[in-house]
Structure 1
Amino acid sequence: MARGSLLPVILLLLIFFLPADLSAQCSICTKTAQQLGERPAKALNAGIIYLGLTPFLIIGYIGYRWWKDNNN
């Protein structure tokens, strides 16, 4: 297998084997979410994951473009 095609395979495996329910709440947010109910708690958790993942995706994209431009 070529080295360049190994990364997409690893990413796909990670997507399939990561748990579907990720907990991203601190203890205070968990207590607040428990008082709100199940649907708002899931929405709060999804929002926390979204806000935490967005900077990593942006920095990852910039880093990938920088790496690709410097290796050509």
Structure 2
Amino acid sequence: MKTKILSLVFILTAVLTSSAQCAMCRAVLENEDGQKAAKGINDGIVYLMSIPYILVFGLGFFIYWKYFRTKKQ
């Protein structure tokens, strides 16, 4: 149980520090002063990328919960 919690913490910190821009977007946005647009685009990409993972995790957890709940009864 301790290793599961520890691995979850590492995964969450990796997601928070990741940079998710493609090479072309990064090259175009690096020329801008202030980097506000680059940070906004990067946050948008991370947000759009996280939604499918959350949905798949939720579905997997629901299936896991139903399987083991019916198995015990």
- TM superposition score category, shorter chain reference: 0.7 to 0.9
- The CA RMSD measured in Å over matched residues stands at 2.2
Separation in structure 2 between the aligned mates of residue 57 and residue 19 of structure 1, nearest angstrom: 13
**Greater gyration radius:** 2
Q: What are the ranges of 5 or more consecutive residues in structure 2 without an aligned counterpart?
A: none
> Which TM-score applies when normalising by structure 1?
0.72
Aligned residues: 68
Q: Report percent identity of matched pairs.
A: 22
Aligned equivalent of 2:18, options 22, 35, 43: 22
In structure 2, what is the Cα distance between the partners aligned to 1:40 and 1:21? 18
Which of 4, 8, 27 is 1:11 aligned to?
8
| 1:69 aligned residue | 66
Contact 1:33–1:44 (CA<8 Å) still a contact in 2?
no
* Cα deviation 1:39-68 (Å, max 9, x = unaligned): 110111111111111111111101111111
**Hey, what does 2:47 align to over in structure 1?**
50
Letter in 2 for 1:30: R
**Off by >4 Å, runs of 4+ in structure 1:** none
Gapped regions of structure 1 (runs ≥ 5) = none
Give the superposition deviation at 1:36.
3.5
